[in-house]
Structure 1
Amino acid sequence: MYKLSVVSGGKVALPRVHNRSATRKSVSCLTKDGSAYIVPFNNQFKVYSIDTRQCIKALKFANNDVLSSIFDNDSVEVVHIELVNDDDMDKIRVYTNTGKVAVLKYKGKLATEIKNWTLDITGEVFAVLADGKKILTTQQTGNSYKYALYDLIEEEEGKFQVNHIETFENVLLSTWSNNNLHFAAVYMNQDSKKSVLVKSLVDNSVTQNFPVPSTTSSTTMNSHFVTALALDNNGEQLAIGFASGVINVINLPDLSHRLLKWHVDSVLSLGFTNDNAYLLSGGWEKVLSFWQLATNMQHFLPRLNGIVLECLPVSDKYYALVLQFAENNTSSDYQITLLNAMDLTSLLAINGPFPVFDTVTGDVEQPISTVTSKSSVSSSNMLQSKKKQKRELLKRKRHDFTAPMFVHPLSKHLYLPHVSSLQTYDLYKNEQVNYQYVTSSVNNAAGKVRLELTIQDPVVQDVKFTLDGLWMITYEVEYPPEGLLSSKELSHVLKFWQLDDNKEWQLRTKVLNPHGSNVPVTNIITAPNSINSSQGCLTADNNGGLKFWKFDSKQNNWCLNRLLLPNYNHFSNSVQLAWALDGSLIFHAFEDKLSIIEFHEFKLLEDENGSPVERTLDTPIQALTLVNDSTLIISTKTSLHSFNLLTQSTISSFDLYPYVNAVYKPGHFARLMAYDANTGRIAVAINQPGDAVNGSRTLQHKSHILIFNSDLTEKLGTFEHNKYISSLVWNYAADFIFMDIKSRLGIVSTTASSEMVDESNNDQAFESLHSDSFTEKLLELTKKKVMVNTEAEDVNDEDIGLEFINGNLAQNKTINMNSFTSLFENTDNVQMDTLFDRVMKIIT
């Protein structure tokens, strides 16, 4: 019996990223002892251990009825997380933009009844400030925002009194200090000129209002367009970043100011350190800049993974960066990076899967730049671009939101091509394993700024693995610069990678234009075990040509072994391949025609009359799967067929026209069909548009996953999912893995463990977080002296276990740094048993 469960993945939740007036995008929480970091995702809360750099706890919304009801809508976001100040150190209080408040434990099993309530407040909650005593709400009014400030008085748990204090009109940009006690905003005054408001949230010690200082005599829009703000903890320094790259630091007591110039594109983030000594800034250069305000000295942390959207201190020990991988313009991909403030080493890299969809999704938020490109928006058309994007999405009758995703046969890791890179994601550990650049592009070494944003990076189109898992084949397309005579001449590159001893992929062979100049590779399939131990692959082009590549042990390289010349007089991207397990036959689908190729002769299979054995279907073939070496599953634009190769007859057919026709680009429906080679079962994902609201179309979708037996004669299961499914793959075991448009990962399986699905809460990882460090524990064990009573009932079993590990109970021997000196005398060729005996003699 199959079950469907969403168990992993998700995107980092940035609640204020779609509000152009917000400079502070993220929400996170550091535990009281500073050992764990809590970050919200769009489907769960994740708790990370800073010491081990791993996710040690996931509080999944789907596993709790209360959390499911609170986050039942995509528009619900977590705007604030704070620790509950009581005897229980394991609780957090969560505020959402809809006014919901919930108290939950981040340690231990999720309570079935989570305390929650709703604030009596109008408008969308924007932030919770002043140690939970102030609420800021926001509402968009044309090109600006209207803010409202409220007093939040907690009379008792679950009962709040909310009093309106003040309203701020025509706000363009806002921020607050790290201690949440001071607020600053850039707004448009009654004379239609930009002004700055700085206000203390707890008293009247700071209240200032003044025009935005000019940074240049230029009248260009970029030199006056404010893109970032930062306010120090004392309310005495305000930093203003502009689209031109200039930073203006204002001393608020006397309104004197100075200019800091280094950025060559828009300043996207600013932040003061808690001691007000340094100003942090970041932007398109993928560099974190440190400005020492007393001396104007500057330090840099270069080569970050993405552009810097936010840079803020977390306590006095860490810096938190929000990075955006802007190269992917189909979705907004974010990563939160936690840096050690002492040596600027990365402690945590928090992100989810990074799929690249075929169509731009509706939640894309492009950063501001001086130019307009696919990955950015300029200050002049910032507001129009968002409306245009939504209008175009609604105008389209059908969308192709599929994304490529592949599974490694041995590690079971998911591989997602991410423009010019390749992300490796562990479904079961729910974390990124690796992020590797596999192409040559500008972004690999540095960030792109200004007109460089129009340069298109190479794109990884396909990834395949040999069945032994030792080789990876990638196919990429390189784009020349625009505006040249050769701008339409694309380069197609086939690469072969070997897995080294450190589990890293090393490039071994690179083939430029493997099927000729300007000829794309439309499909790749790896060889079965019967052909060169699976160390081979077939590549197909858009004109019917086929080439067989294999690893030659004598040449110690990948070589072209056989080829079949193009044999059609037209071009098509509807090309699919299937390979028999014994390697004798290859099934080649081109448009609506299915032909069979005899591998050893590498030519079309012919009948008794010398005519090619071909079969023509009704519409172009979208997917091709060979099941149990006897049944061929064929999906066209209108139907799904199972064809018996032995009897040359159709076993069963299904009409797919309402779900497939004109929805997916050629070959992309293959991303939604998976085959379990162990059982012969087939899984198919079907996407449908959501129900219309008030007669108008929405961008919401729903989906189904259907499980069939090997010849499609029996349906073994039907499952619903509330989002568009972008990928469906088999994990070389017993599970089908799917990813939806929200980057959430799920499984359809008969063997799904309760730990993954039901979140069996094992708190062993927390024991180190709420106790002494490992070193202190070890020291305690080595020095501990226990008097063992001869009566068994007086002996503590736990102490006996600890002391037995440390040494003999009857002796109280102290181990110091010199205890093992004799152990290393003459250790050559010593067997492990002998070495163990030596250790035991020393400690006993």
Structure 2
Amino acid sequence: MSQSAVLQKYKLSVVSGGKPILPHCSNPSHSNKSVVCLTADQLNYIVPFNNQLKIYSTDTRQCIKTLKYSNSQSLLEIFENDKAQLADISPSVALKDNELTLLTNDGRIVSLNYKGKLINDPQVRKIDLEEGETVSKLFVSPEKSFKLLTTKQGSHGSHFVYRIYSLHIGEEIHTELEHTINDVILSSWSSNGKFIACLHQKDNKRYIQVYSIFDGLEVTEFALQSIFASHHSATSANSRYVSSMAIDSVGKQLALGFASGVINVVNISDLQGRLLKWHIDSVLSLCFTDDGTYLLSGGWEKVLSFWQLSTNLQQFLPRLGGVIVDCQPISGGRFYSLSLQMTENTSNSDFQLLLLNAADLTSKVVVNGPLPIYNSPVNASVMPVSAVSTRASTTVSTASMSRRKQKNKLRKGTRQDFTVSAEINPVTKHIFFPHASAVQAFDFYKNEQVLYQYVASDVNNSMGKVRFELNVQDPQVTSVAFTKNGKWMITYEVQHPPENLLSSKDLGYDLKFWTKNDNDIEWSLVTKVINPHGVSIPITKLLPAPNAINASQGILTADNEGGLKYWAYDDYEKNWCLKKLTLPNFNHFSNSVSLAWSQDGSLIFHAFDDKLQIIDFETFKKFESSNGTEEITNEFTLDSEIQAMKLVDDTNLVVATRFTLNTINLLKGATTNSFDIYPFVNGFYKNSHLERLISCDEKTGRIALVVNQKGEHSERDGTPSYNARVIVFNSSLSNKVGSFYHANYISWIGWNHDTDFIFLDTDGKLGVVGTTFNTEMLEGVNPENNTDVLADDGGDFIDQLQKLSRDEAAYVNGDEDNALELINGDNNDKVINMNSFAGMFENIQNVQIDTFFDCVMKVVT
């Protein structure tokens, strides 16, 4: 055991990432989907994430405070263990300054100090609810009286029972039922919380009821059919389907948005309406300004429209980052809060929140988390309603069934692959995620997005897509790579031809080379190569050149026919050029392709299917001995398709196949270690995707391997739960440095070009397995930390392999502590030589003599 393994203990901590959430988005009857607010002093904007609350300054636009649920035992218990969801945030309920009140859907009221540290557990109180009843909204009057809105699933799947209670908050909490509305289809409340409008069904007819919350009066109720008298085009299903609602602050105006794109503004006193026509697809969000003079609307066009109701004149805020699914005025109309959904990603719900200054419509705060695209959908999110059925939308006829179908798909999915493509810039340490036609750069340490740039030409670059345009499939960026010096970014994208053509299945492929000066924000395109490996031949792997080759300004590309090409930047041409190539030498196709490159640049390791070839970079042919007398092994055949390769210290080549994890000693030309991993990875990953879950620390040679498995218990909605282990090995796989548990599926792990491994899970949370943590990171350290180097049990390798095989069933059944004894290492008969103490002198400065003696004893015992 080396000295570095003794002194540098790995820890696992989930310290970054997370996704902004729209708590009411899970309830299809709510038009008001987001829960955001300003603090009482109106200086801070509070945004809920799935793992924390983030507080942004409206002056500096920076995140000034993060309240992580993992830093409080009470919040951890509520939101992580009990899986409660946030229902509302209110700064006006608290009796003390600097306090926030959180309401959960299961009826808990949490009071916490948002300016202090979460050292003391916040106060938690409970509201008694019926079974199946959930909290949706807390209404607060200027006199500090409280009303509570709860919802409950009705007899019809898409209908809900609404109940409004009078809430008394003191030493004990009392509720008193005041009003009930049955079979609610859609609802909306005013920005000041005084009125609620509900579209509900009664006697097989649809009615709209407007209720004054604090007066306890039903303002009006009328049949929806009555307002269609002026709506002459209301003949199709889209023109009769109400997709959004809004009511003004005085209860006099009601706006109804339809799936056809028409908006009907109804005067509640005489039910006279007028039509506003601009949208050409479903109206997804509506809100009145506080004075009722303007109506804001948004939808698929990614344009926020301002309607001046006195003149019907319009103003627009175009080119927003996503489909507008919610808009609302806050802080007395000083700001507008927008919620955008990036529908280009159908594997996950990607939301972005904007805070706009109402005076000049300038952006004050932009909030979003990491934007990975998972190989399989990770949750039962429902896309917004559209007039046209596409992958990115739901139609009027399928809106009520869409969520149920997605949940059933998740329940029945036995072999899901939730891995993610991502890459870390070696210089800036930013994580780059391909996102549809764009790339996102996310700063792990600052926990914020630093760049979102379109790198492929598509419709979304300039405008939103509506109706049949949603069927146009945009180019998809599938891979991102960086040269070792961080100066060049290489992107690979797939071009999709229009549908219903003879050439619709003939995909196109583009390889692009980008650079960026230090003062630039976005990357600039230098070279674009169309179909770099030939027509209809995809690239399956990108590998940047080591520093020894052309100052790292080079890259290898491999295709699914066994072809290999080397591209490099030519200083004379001022462009990227093809320098070397080898033609396909296999007679079949395979997506199991992997590459590795020696640090001195002399050898390339090319894995295709189950074959591993060693290629001489100089000749770009199979490696052969220079004198021709010594027989050199230049090709290996493994037991199954090769999924990943990592070259460690130019000596050991770690190769993962479908069945085994192998160490090939290149000096001996033979396999030195081999372990059965088939029970742990079978069926979970597509070909070559296991490489996303294996990473190598190029400085120390340590290997991090992620093993995902299904949990013993399912989630509340019946979808399977997952957990993971991150196992860190030494360079030869002869010793396990650490094993760490994470209570979620890990989708990607990568080395940060320093001392740590960064990983991402299916909740969008970013964690670190490493040896260096600052104070902020340590606040979120996993309490189930298990970093001690495992003791030996005296068995040889054959015994260990047999033991692992016997324990396969134990692992499948969830007993990972037994089954994950992958590597123990037989160190009982240790031989001490001149290299035994080499690792101790890597960091010997200022080491005390007793510490030094302990390190010596660790080596010799």
The match for 1:743 is 764
- Structure 2 counterpart SS, 1:183: strand
CA contact (8 A) 1:6 1:757 kept: no
Q: Do the aligned partners of residues 86 and 625 (structure 1) sit closer, same or farther apart at CA in structure 2, a change above 3 Å counting?
A: closer
Shift of 1:87: 6.7
The answer for the alignment partner of 1:128 in structure 2 is: 138
Bigger drift between 11-20 and 624-633 goes to: 11-20
- Indicate yes or no: 2:295 matched with 1:287: no
Give how far 1:52 is off: 1.1
User: In structure 2, what residue type is equivalent to 1:498?
Assistant: T
Counterpart-to-counterpart distance in 2, 1:501 and 1:672: 31
One-letter identity of the residue aligned with 1:44: Q
SS at 2:89's partner residue?
A: strand
The one of 698, 702, 717 equivalent to 2:723 is: 702
- The answer to which of 659-668 and 512-521 deviates more is 659-668
**3-state SS of 1:368 partner:** coil
Q: Structure 1 residues 148-157 or 326-335, which shifts more?
A: 148-157
Contact 1:134/1:149 (<8 A) preserved: no
Which amino acid letter does the alignment assign opposite residue 607 of structure 2? A
Match of 2:170 in 1: 156
Q: Do residues 448 (structure 1) and 465 (structure 2) align?
A: yes
Q: Which residue of 1 is the match for residue 607 of structure 2?
A: 589
2:707 aligned with 1:686, yes or no? yes
Whichever residue aligns with residue 376 of structure 2, its letter is: T
What letter matches 2:526 in structure 1?
R
**DSSP 3-state at the match of 1:222:** helix
Distance 1:218 1:89 in 2: 52
Q: Tell me what 1:794 maps to.
A: none
TM-fit CA distance, 1:752 = 1.3
> Secondary structure of 2:655's match?
strand
Q: Distance in 2 between matches of 1:116 and 1:152?
A: 20
Give the aligned partner of residue 666 of structure 1: 687
1:589-624 CA distances to partner (integer Å, 9 max, x unpaired)? 000110011000011124659998211111100000
Partner of 1:803: none
Q: 608, 614, 619: which is aligned to 2:635? A: 614
Letter in 1 for 2:176: N
Cα distance in 1 for partners of 2:10, 2:655 equals 24
CA drift of 1:74 comes to 7.5
Once the two structures are superposed, what CA deviation does each residue of 1:428-473 show, in whole Å capped at 9, x if it has no partner?
1111111100100111110000011111111111111011110000
The CA deviation at 1:747 is 0.5
Alignment correspondent of 2:27: 19
User: Post-superposition shift, 1:659?
Assistant: 1.7
Instruction: Show CA shifts across 1:24-75 (max 9, x none).
Output: 1111120122111111100001010111111111110111101001112584
Q: Does 1:497 align with 2:514?
A: yes
CA distance in 2, matches of 1:260, 1:698: 42
CA distance in 2, matches of 1:27, 1:297: 30
- The amino acid across from 1:348 in the alignment is V
Aligned partner of 2:189 in structure 1 is 176
- Choose the corresponding residue for 1:221, options 201, 217, 237: 237
2:557 is the counterpart of 1:542: no
Q: Distance in 2 between matches of 1:211 and 1:711?
A: 75
- When normalised by structure 1's length, the TM-score is 0.88
Corresponding position: 1:194 with 2:202: no
SS at match of 2:76: helix
CA deviations over 1:542-595 (Å, ceiling 9, x no partner) = 111000000000000000000000111101111000000000000000001100
1:635 counterpart (656, 666, 669):
656
Q: Distance in 1 between matches of 2:528 and 2:218?
A: 63
The change in CA–CA distance for 1:106 and 1:697 in structure 2 (over 3 A counts) is closer
> Could you give the per-residue CA deviations for residues 101-141 of structure 1, whole angstroms, max 9, x where no partner exists?
11001102113221111111221111112446111111222
Give the drift of 1:164: 1.6
Cα distance change, pair 743–464 in 1 and its aligned pair in 2 (3 A): same
The corresponding residue for 2:833 is: none
- State the SS of the aligned residue for 1:72: helix
Q: State the TM-score, normalizing by the size of structure 2.
A: 0.86
Residue aligned with 1:352, SS: coil
Secondary structure (helix, strand or coil) at the match of 1:487 reads: coil
Q: Name the SS of the counterpart of 2:704 in structure 1.
A: strand
SS of residue paired to 1:343: coil
Deviation per residue, 1:181-216 (Å, 9 max, x gap): 1010111111x1211010100115652100112123
- Give the residue type in structure 2 aligned to 1:172: I
> Deviation at 1:384?
2.0
Residue 50 in structure 1 maps to residue 61 in structure 2: no
Is the Cα contact below 8 Å between 1:596 and 1:614 reproduced in 2?
yes
1:38 equivalent to 2:52? Answer no
Q: Which residue of 2 aligns with 1:140?
A: 153
TM-aligned CA deviation for residue 631 of structure 1: 0.3
Name the counterpart of 2:178.
165
Mapped pair 1:273 → 2:312: no
Amino acid at match of 1:37: Y
Aligned to 2:264: 248
- C-alpha root-mean-square deviation of aligned residues, in Å? 1.8
Output one character per residue of 1:754-811: Cα deviation in whole Å (capped at 9) or x when no partner: 2223179xxxxxxxxxxxxxxxxxxxxxxxxxxxxxxxxxxxxxxxxxxxxxxxxxxx
Whole-angstrom distance in 2 between the partners of 1:4 and 1:321: 35
1:97–1:485 CA distance, 2 compared to 1 (3 A): same
**2:813 — aligned with what?**
none
Give 2:393's aligned residue: 376
Counterpart mapping for 1:722-741 below 5 A: 722-741=743-762
Which residue identity is paired with 1:433?
A: V
Partners in 2 of 1:514 and 1:74 — Cα distance?
Answer: 51
Kindly indicate whether the alpha-carbon contact (under 8 Å) linking 1:16 and 1:126 is maintained by their aligned counterparts in 2: yes
Letter in 2 for 1:129: F
Separation in structure 2 between the aligned mates of residue 153 and residue 362 of structure 1, nearest angstrom: 34
Name the CA shift for 1:428/1:293 in 2 (closer, same or farther; >3 Å): same
In the TM superposition, residue 661 of structure 1 has moved relative to its aligned partner by 1.7
* Offset, 1:150: 3.6
Show the counterpart of 2:362. Answer: 345
Moved more, 279-288 or 344-353: 344-353
Which runs of 5 or more residues in structure 2 are unaligned?
1-8, 782-861
State the partner residue of 1:116.
Answer: 124
Contiguous gaps of at least 5 residues in structure 1? 761-844
Percent identity between the two aligned chains: 49
Report if the CA contact (8 A) 2:375-2:417 is conserved. Answer: yes
Q: Distance in 2 between matches of 1:481 and 1:699?
A: 36
Superposed displacement of residue 699, structure 1: 2.0
Q: Is the 8 A contact 1:65 1:112 kept in 2?
A: no
Counterparts of 2:432 and 2:673, CA distance in 1: 33
Counterpart in the other structure of 1:331:
348
